[in-house]
Structure 1
């Protein structure tokens, strides 16, 4: 008869940096710091995306697409269009201009500046000439001229982007222009390079915790 004796218990090897059987020390999580880091990261991304989209829409778009943009300087069309708003106008056949439309055109007097007003009267002649009377929504009287729309195309306002014209005017100031046109792109480039090259702290912490847990076994564990 052969007796079966229990196998001797193997002594637990002490873990690195602590006594035998000691559990790995977990780093204290900092949810507030992580939340601030996450919020800051996405805020910067949103600002960059907004700046890029605004630049493409206001500077590049009118050169490659069939529309125009113009900043409203006066309150003659308030509250429909306030000073500082940017209007987006698309081409329209002169023959299709109707009463009630808001169009952008050169006035026929003084400095021939560009205005954006509502059409209140349309006069078509036998030779195809189209003349309009306009008025600002906030003005008490019609404009003191009759404008003949030259060419075959007029421009009708299709959209209004609030307040962005004020931002554009502010950015044209010398100090801010230097900051945003020269220093800001450099700073964003450096920040993006650091974000790419620097390993994430969260990944390092997770890897360290996993490696420590793998090296440490609870008392009585068998292989």
Structure 2
């Protein structure tokens, strides 16, 4: 392979990697905000294999009455407290006071959850999940997220500009080489004239 083919292949791979990182960033940062959603990390295996341990889940708020059997929901284990679970709705019923409740169960669990989910506990319905990306959500949180995300975004922008300028410079160089070859007299032509 020639140098230009290798360089083109390298640029293509670099742009592909840049595109993949940009897509992941959009899925993790932009879409949840645009959809009014929240991000959570799956810290247990109760939803295997559909949502494996370490997945990032994005849930979108929904009215409690709109949740249906089969939906995957994230809910507070105790109303008003922060620990949450993400399980599938396997049934519905009525509490003693007539309030609608949801019966949930993790896909990998043999039995339904002991306590039904009430309206105030619902955090949202699953919009999408991305395997393994939840670990990044855990590692980069709080104050660290406040400077890592802008720094990473800036680095990606600088890299994209560098890739663009490099491709532009190489294109101009190749055009100059072609022009030089077209303008240069053939070596054999001078010898025949003399």
TM-score scaled by length of structure 1: 0.64
Would the aligned equivalents of 1:108 and 1:146 in 2 still touch at CA under 8 Å? no
* SS of match in other structure, 1:66: coil
Q: Give distance in 1, aligned partners of 2:52 and 2:128.
A: 13
Would the aligned equivalents of 1:93 and 1:154 in 2 still touch at CA under 8 Å? no
Would the aligned equivalents of 1:106 and 1:113 in 2 still touch at CA under 8 Å? yes
Q: Give distance in 2, aligned partners of 1:40 and 1:197.
A: 12
Q: Give distance in 2, aligned partners of 1:160 and 1:101.
A: 13
Aligned length: 189
Other-structure match for 2:118: 148
Would the aligned equivalents of 1:86 and 1:161 in 2 still touch at CA under 8 Å? yes
Other-structure match for 1:157: 126
Q: Give distance in 1, aligned partners of 2:61 and 2:81.
A: 23
54-63 or 134-143, larger mean C-alpha shift: 54-63
| Shift in alpha-carbon separation, 1:178–1:102, aligned structure 2, 3 A | closer
Other-structure match for 1:117: 87
Other-structure match for 1:6: none
| Shift in alpha-carbon separation, 1:124–1:182, aligned structure 2, 3 A | same
* SS of match in other structure, 1:200: helix
Q: 1:62 aligns with which of 27, 32, 44?
A: 32
CA RMSD of aligned residues (A): 3.9
Paired residues for 1:32-51 under 5 Å? 32-51=2-21
Other-structure match for 1:204: 173
| Shift in alpha-carbon separation, 1:58–1:124, aligned structure 2, 3 A | same
| Shift in alpha-carbon separation, 1:183–1:139, aligned structure 2, 3 A | closer
Q: Give distance in 1, aligned partners of 2:107 and 2:5.
A: 47
| Shift in alpha-carbon separation, 1:82–1:131, aligned structure 2, 3 A | same
Other-structure match for 2:183: 214
Would the aligned equivalents of 1:88 and 1:157 in 2 still touch at CA under 8 Å? yes
Q: Give distance in 1, aligned partners of 2:9 and 2:157.
A: 17
Q: Give distance in 2, aligned partners of 1:221 and 1:184.
A: 62
Other-structure match for 1:93: 63
TM-score scaled by length of structure 2: 0.72
| Shift in alpha-carbon separation, 1:133–1:84, aligned structure 2, 3 A | same
Q: Which protein is richer in helix relative to its size?
A: 2
Unaligned runs of 5+ in 2: none
Instruction: Say yes or no: does 1:81 pair with 2:51.
Output: yes
